[in-house]
Structure 1
Amino acid sequence: MAERPLGIQGIEALYEECRTRVQDNRTAPTGPGLPAIVLVGPHGSGKTSTLKWLGYLGSRRPHVYFDFGSAAPRRPHEVAGRLAYGLSHRLPRQTPLLFPRLTLGLFVVAPELFLNPTDPERARKQLRQALRGPQEPQPAAERVVAVAGLLQDLNLLRIPGISLLASLIRQPPSMPLRVTRHTGFAWYAGPLTAMDALVELNQLSKSEDPTDRAAVDRRLCEAFLADLRGEYARRQRDRNCVVLLDNIDAPGGREFLDLLMELRDAAGEPDPLLAVAAASNVGRVPGMFANGPAGVQVRFPEQAGYLDWARSVPDPPPNRSWRWYCVQLRGLTAGETAQLGTNIAARLPEAPLLAHRLTDGHPWSVRQMLTASARIVGRERPEALLRAVLSSTTPSAADADEGPSLEAEAREYLLRDLTDDQRRALVECCAAREFDAACDAGLLDRFQLHTRDSLARVVATRLWLTDPVPQDAETRGGRGSGYLERVHPNPLRGSSVLHPWLRMLLLRELAASPDRWMAVHGKLRTWHIEHGHPLEVLYHSLALQRVDDVIEHLAQRLVELSDTSVWLYELYTITAAPLREPVLPEQPATLRAEELAAELAPRAFAAHTPLTLLVLSLWLAADPRNRLPGANPELNRTINAMFQDLAMRSVPTRIGLMHEAAKYV
């Protein structure tokens, strides 16, 4: 049995809605037909697992799974043949689907069938002879090889009978001759007789002309859909058949689905085929346009539904983009992560919460973190080991003391689509709070032209940009979130930011070169000075360890501002800056805050002790590894005490600071 992915309830409901909207050519078409559902998300977001779970849910009705990423690139008609093979499997209490039109067409365009191109009569005779079957049966070994190749394409684990495979790929049609004649031949007949049309199709298939090749693909994909419509018209069925298409952003995926959507438009009648696809690159999905970095209208599972798609269809549609319905898989919630880590939580309760906070619920990364954390259970000083979990070797390493670190493997996995130059550029761009600022500040100027032109699009279409998280007590181990939104007269722009987990991994690579860290943050700081962004200037000042500048600003603002909320907004916004060495696993974060205060800001520490300790503690608390144990986060006591101390010293007394202190109890 397949394992049900977490957080896909809305996708399951959409899937069942579309599966049960059966229309055949005996009933009047209603509505816009069926969408091409595309599950989108970055690498590791659970797309393949979700497709396979949907296949399990639909396993009692015709369905097939095909992965464009693992199979060799196939032309559209070859994909249609493989899908037809999968859909034709005999299921309990189900009449199998037959594909006489497609079967006949695939036989005619088989590479080994050559018909005389100069003598039409001779060509027709050759075709009739071929259709009667070979003089000698195909060797069993060849049939097994053909079966194995097809099963590999379809990712099937068991080998069923080869009768339909033989008819689709290597052998003449094995269906009753009357079915082939009455259905297949009749369908190909038109201005030409059926035999002449089939001879012409064979000759087109031998051409290298792209126009001729496209004509073959189009005709056979038409046959595929016509067979499906015919089967549903011939016998009433209660579910549409389903094709699950993984990695449609790989070669061949879009080519097949684009043709399928074009044929649906041209037919003007519904077909009983539900296509559910998956892609990591939303730029390869021609869905309806929407403002935003990705440029495509995307729904989350909780929003998804057939009616939502149908209502979004423009009237009249300007193009076929309305047929595509993109649903973005979301990250795991804290509760879902805890559910995955049930076995660990009993003995190491901090592990699931830390995994969620570090990865922001990215499914693949959560599982990697939980697996690595499980190796800590029962060992001495588990909290120190948890703080160092990203530096531990990967769970897949044969020797626990050797192999790549968890953070290195995660970086490689998440960035595998990028070129080396794009990756180097992204490592520098991660220093900016908002991704647009990195591009605007000229961080890409020294990289290759292709990188300068493509990086922003690559990051956006691979869905690594997210909305910023409100900076407040919630992000530092306290209680309450969003209460400082819209309180500042000059807030941050609020444009898209890199996914926090990816950004953390990139910042670790940037931090490995202190000179590079200083140069990038220095350039960003200068750019923000020139463009009048004082909070961003102080953000990068803190990243550059210019703590005195930050304390001087906050101390002055505390005196001159009448609204404590405005001051708190600035405090949290500035202390969200990255720290080059955020965690020392063997050193408690509270002790480190005092050492950093004395080391980086001796002048401010002497003149503004509570404020300096507060700033350093909030700066460290921005990293969830410094907020262990989970039940009583480290640094909370210091943050609470420093807020209270500032409240008592402020003139006039700031009751807002006392309220903020209470969030860390």
Structure 2
Amino acid sequence: MPDVPIRPLGLEAVETLVRDCWVRARQGTRRADRPLPVVVLLGRHGSGKTAALEHLAHRASTAPTAGHDFAAATLRPHEVAARLAFRLSLKAPHQRPLHFPRLTHGLVAVDPELRLDANNPEHAKHQLSKAMRSARKRAAGPAADALSEAVGLLNDIGVIPVPGAGLLASLLLRGIGPRLLSTVSRSGVEWYGEGSPAEPLAALVALNERSRSEDPADAERVDRLLCEAFLADLRAAHAGRQGLGRDRNCLVVLDNIDRGDGTRFLTLLLELREALIQAAPDGGCDPLLVVAASSTARAVPGPFDPGPAGLRISPGERASYDDWHDAVPASPADASWWWYAVRLPDLTAGQVSQLGAAIAPRLPEATPLVHRLTYGHPWSVLRTQRAAARLLERPDAQDRLRGILDSGPLVRDPGGAGGSPAPPTLGQEALRYLTQGMDAEQLAGLVTCAAARDMESAVNSGLLEGFSPRLRETLLEDTAERLWMVPPLSEDAGTRGGRGSGYLPADGPAAHPRRLPGSHVLQPWLRLLLTRELAAREEGGPHPDWDTAHQRMLAWHADRPGHELAVPHHTLALGRVDEVVTALRLSLGGLPTEAWLYELYAVTAAPMREPVVLTEPASHRADRLARDLAPEAYGKHRSLALLVTSLWLAVDPRNRLPSARPELNFTISASFRDLALHADANSAVLRSEAARYEARTT
């Protein structure tokens, strides 16, 4: 018996959506044949898409359910339909089995081993009839039942290939009694003559001839006709007396539709669905609920949205039938409205803690570090938690956790000695996993773009000068379609180990007059890994190093009105702390204090070339950086210089340990309180900000 899939965290709304579409009717409150969206679960590599599909398929296993992974093999659309039909035909508990007579007889006709006499139509029809009788004969008896059961178990989610067209046609006919088999077969054959002047057998002979043609148009016609037969069989099985008792739609889960022509298959099904609805409006929608998964938005043809991925994507927590249906235009221009793209949610801090408790007793202690590093990316959370579990039992756990990205593999390779390459660290392994599928130039370009605050600035500036025109034109779009671009984070105390998030005013007299644009940014976990690569580049290499990249961005922003906050941001990234402290001291007296806090957090969000030094506590390093990089400001405005370097270090959660009471918080709080005493500013606002970093005992 297959294992019960573990329920992925945060999937409640998606489960409700799928169940709502899966159940055909509830006491007459809605039509059983109402339109069904193609639900596409979008998520970056490692977001749990496959686990979600397996869980949804298990939940629906009391009714006909099938699956296919397009990464396993590249199949033609009719071959995918045949495999899905086979899986759907397996008997589900408390459900009468489904039969696919139209598709079955089409499969007999396109069997590569069947060669008909093209010069003698009557002989060809006789050969075809004989092949059909042979398929029905093979379908009877215990041998077919045993093979069907064995293949069904192996092909639970469509990973293991099932037999070819001829044998598969026989398997689709198994279990049908002799009397019913005659009726089923007749309906399957006669369907090929509907709407055509040719008799059914002649149409099937023509189908056989097309299946052996090398003309792409013939191949497309074969795919289209057999996929139409697949949908027609499903509609017939749920209509009239045959549909009595069928209170669930058929669920098909399709993994990796961005590979192996998955999108092509679904696009064809939707074209056929629309054609069948137009031909018979009273027949409603076919009873096929498709839930697919993809790691790129490129796999979904629509509907269009002006966002960075060019696709309307609904958050996973908001997914519902009404959310999809309400967005359908009154007069759709194309078939894109059938697609419903849903983004799988990242894990919350509570869910990260829940996962940690299942791995090791003390692991929830590392939840703030793990969550703030990975921002809830499921694969990265699990990898980081497993690495943290090894470190927590050591007496120097806090110091070792700060170096977690440079920790070794979970399993030591005994053959790794003797000159073999060193095994990847956690950070290296994560970067390879997250950027899989990118070529070397794309990855080099993305590393370079990590210097910019947002991808639009990176692409519009001269940052990618020296890369190929193709990369400069496509990197922004490709990164967005890979779902690695997110709305900018709210920069305030909540992102630096303090309390509160999004509390600084966005408008009104206390708001900053030159707020940062709302352009999408790289997901912070990926950007952190990319900036490590940028910091490791040597001067004079083929691609911009740290200083060159930030100098290019600084010069580009300096020439543009409205980009004033980006200038000190890159100035700080270059280590010119004295200039930044001077600029912030001047703006403190000229801005409302709430607006100045916005500027302070925006500027100190700059990346740092070496964010963590294991041999030096973060609070000591903040003091040293202020003395070394801002000697003039340190002598005259020590509290502000310390505040800048402390907040700069606090951007990285590895500097905010121990999690219960980050050591930097005391320095940040004391600096704010000292500013409140001596600066020409609203002291109440600064004291309130200091309190956000102070531990509360009640």
**TM category, shorter:** over 0.9
Partner of 1:649: 678
Q: Provide the C-alpha distance between the structure 1 equivalents of 2:672 and 2:161, rounded to a whole number of angstroms.
A: 68
Partner of 1:390: 405
Deviation of the 1:296 alpha carbon: 1.1
1:222-241 maps to which residues of 2 (within 5 A)? 222-233=228-239, 234-236=242-244, 237-241=246-250
Q: Provide the C-alpha distance between the structure 1 equivalents of 2:110 and 2:233, rounded to a whole number of angstroms.
A: 18
Q: Provide the C-alpha distance between the structure 2 equivalents of 1:447 and 1:416, rounded to a whole number of angstroms.
A: 20
Deviation of the 1:564 alpha carbon: 0.7
Partner of 1:488: 512
For the pair 1:361 / 2:376, whether they are aligned, the reply is yes
Q: Provide the C-alpha distance between the structure 1 equivalents of 2:460 and 2:48, rounded to a whole number of angstroms.
A: 33
SS class of match (2:464): coil
Partner of 1:49: 51
Q: Provide the C-alpha distance between the structure 1 equivalents of 2:209 and 2:391, rounded to a whole number of angstroms.
A: 66
1:392-541 maps to which residues of 2 (within 5 A)? 392-398=407-413, 403-486=423-506, 487-513=511-537, 515=539, 516-532=545-561, 533-541=563-571
Q: Provide the C-alpha distance between the structure 2 equivalents of 1:27 and 1:204, rounded to a whole number of angstroms.
A: 46
Q: Is the 8 A contact 1:243 1:275 kept in 2?
A: yes
CA spacing shift, 1:170–1:20, aligned 2, 3 Å = closer
Which sits farther off after the overlay, 180-189 or 101-110? 180-189
Q: Provide the C-alpha distance between the structure 2 equivalents of 1:577 and 1:84, rounded to a whole number of angstroms.
A: 55
For the pair 1:109 / 2:126, whether they are aligned, the reply is no
CA spacing shift, 1:11–1:552, aligned 2, 3 Å = same
Pick aligned residue for 1:595 from 620, 624, 628: 624
Q: Provide the C-alpha distance between the structure 1 equivalents of 2:67 and 2:307, rounded to a whole number of angstroms.
A: 32
Deviation of the 1:485 alpha carbon: 3.9
Deviation of the 1:182 alpha carbon: 2.3
Partner of 1:9: 12
CA spacing shift, 1:102–1:552, aligned 2, 3 Å = same
Partner of 1:243: 252
Q: Provide the C-alpha distance between the structure 2 equivalents of 1:350 and 1:634, rounded to a whole number of angstroms.
A: 16
SS class of match (2:436): coil
Q: Provide the C-alpha distance between the structure 2 equivalents of 1:294 and 1:540, rounded to a whole number of angstroms.
A: 27
In structure 1, give the amino acid aligned to 2:182: R
SS class of match (2:392): coil
CA spacing shift, 1:452–1:397, aligned 2, 3 Å = farther
Deviation of the 1:450 alpha carbon: 2.1
Which sits farther off after the overlay, 523-532 or 595-604? 595-604
| TM-score where L is the length of structure 2 | 0.89
Q: Is the 8 A contact 1:107 1:173 kept in 2?
A: no
1:268-287 maps to which residues of 2 (within 5 A)? 268=277, 269-287=284-302
Q: Is the 8 A contact 1:564 1:656 kept in 2?
A: yes
Q: Provide the C-alpha distance between the structure 2 equivalents of 1:44 and 1:85, rounded to a whole number of angstroms.
A: 30
Deviation of the 1:654 alpha carbon: 2.4
Deviation of the 1:432 alpha carbon: 0.5
SS class of match (1:276): strand
Q: Is the 8 A contact 2:108 2:166 kept in 1?
A: no
Q: Is the 8 A contact 1:83 1:243 kept in 2?
A: yes
- Alignment size in residue pairs: 658
| TM-score where L is the length of structure 1 | 0.94
Q: Is the 8 A contact 1:466 1:498 kept in 2?
A: yes
In structure 1, give the amino acid aligned to 2:222: V
Deviation of the 1:120 alpha carbon: 0.9
CA spacing shift, 1:85–1:22, aligned 2, 3 Å = farther
Partner of 2:91: 90
Q: Provide the C-alpha distance between the structure 2 equivalents of 1:226 and 1:298, rounded to a whole number of angstroms.
A: 31
Deviation of the 1:123 alpha carbon: 1.0
Q: Provide the C-alpha distance between the structure 2 equivalents of 1:172 and 1:180, rounded to a whole number of angstroms.
A: 11
Q: Provide the C-alpha distance between the structure 2 equivalents of 1:128 and 1:182, rounded to a whole number of angstroms.
A: 12
Q: Is the 8 A contact 2:571 2:580 kept in 1?
A: yes
Per-residue CA distance 1:339-389 (angstroms, 9 max, x = gap): 001156743543122111100000110011111111113212001111111
Pick aligned residue for 1:258 from 232, 251, 267: 267
Q: Provide the C-alpha distance between the structure 2 equivalents of 1:222 and 1:27, rounded to a whole number of angstroms.
A: 30
Q: Provide the C-alpha distance between the structure 1 equivalents of 2:81 and 2:548, rounded to a whole number of angstroms.
A: 54
In structure 1, give the amino acid aligned to 2:388: S
1:369-388 maps to which residues of 2 (within 5 A)? 369-388=384-403
Partner of 2:168: 168
Q: Is the 8 A contact 2:148 2:171 kept in 1?
A: no
Q: Provide the C-alpha distance between the structure 1 equivalents of 2:13 and 2:634, rounded to a whole number of angstroms.
A: 53
Which sits farther off after the overlay, 261-270 or 120-129? 120-129
Unaligned runs of 5+ in 1: none
Deviation of the 1:331 alpha carbon: 0.6
Deviation of the 1:134 alpha carbon: 8.2
CA spacing shift, 1:329–1:349, aligned 2, 3 Å = closer
CA spacing shift, 1:34–1:620, aligned 2, 3 Å = same
Q: Provide the C-alpha distance between the structure 2 equivalents of 1:212 and 1:41, rounded to a whole number of angstroms.
A: 36
Q: Provide the C-alpha distance between the structure 1 equivalents of 2:332 and 2:500, rounded to a whole number of angstroms.
A: 45
In structure 1, give the amino acid aligned to 2:472: R
Q: Is the 8 A contact 2:107 2:166 kept in 1?
A: no
In structure 1, give the amino acid aligned to 2:262: G
Q: Provide the C-alpha distance between the structure 2 equivalents of 1:549 and 1:254, rounded to a whole number of angstroms.
A: 53
Unaligned runs of 5+ in 2: 278-283, 540-544
Which sits farther off after the overlay, 142-151 or 429-438? 142-151
Q: Is the 8 A contact 1:103 1:167 kept in 2?
A: no
Q: Provide the C-alpha distance between the structure 1 equivalents of 2:98 and 2:199, rounded to a whole number of angstroms.
A: 27
Q: Is the 8 A contact 1:355 1:370 kept in 2?
A: yes
SS class of match (2:131): helix
Deviation of the 1:44 alpha carbon: 0.9
1:160-199 maps to which residues of 2 (within 5 A)? 167-168=167-168, 174=174, 175=176, 176=178, 177-190=181-194, 191-199=197-205
Q: Provide the C-alpha distance between the structure 2 equivalents of 1:637 and 1:419, rounded to a whole number of angstroms.
A: 45
In structure 2, give the amino acid aligned to 1:663: R
Per-residue CA distance 1:208-253 (angstroms, 9 max, x = gap): 1111111111111111111111111213211101000001111220
Q: Provide the C-alpha distance between the structure 1 equivalents of 2:56 and 2:426, rounded to a whole number of angstroms.
A: 31
For the pair 1:584 / 2:608, whether they are aligned, the reply is no
SS class of match (1:289): coil
Per-residue CA distance 1:162-206 (angstroms, 9 max, x = gap): 9x9864257895554403432111211232111101101100111
Deviation of the 1:655 alpha carbon: 2.1
Per-residue CA distance 1:2-33 (angstroms, 9 max, x = gap): 1000001100000000001359xx99967851
Q: Provide the C-alpha distance between the structure 1 equivalents of 2:413 and 2:593, rounded to a whole number of angstroms.
A: 55
CA spacing shift, 1:347–1:491, aligned 2, 3 Å = same
Partner of 1:332: 347
Q: Provide the C-alpha distance between the structure 2 equivalents of 1:385 and 1:73, rounded to a whole number of angstroms.
A: 46
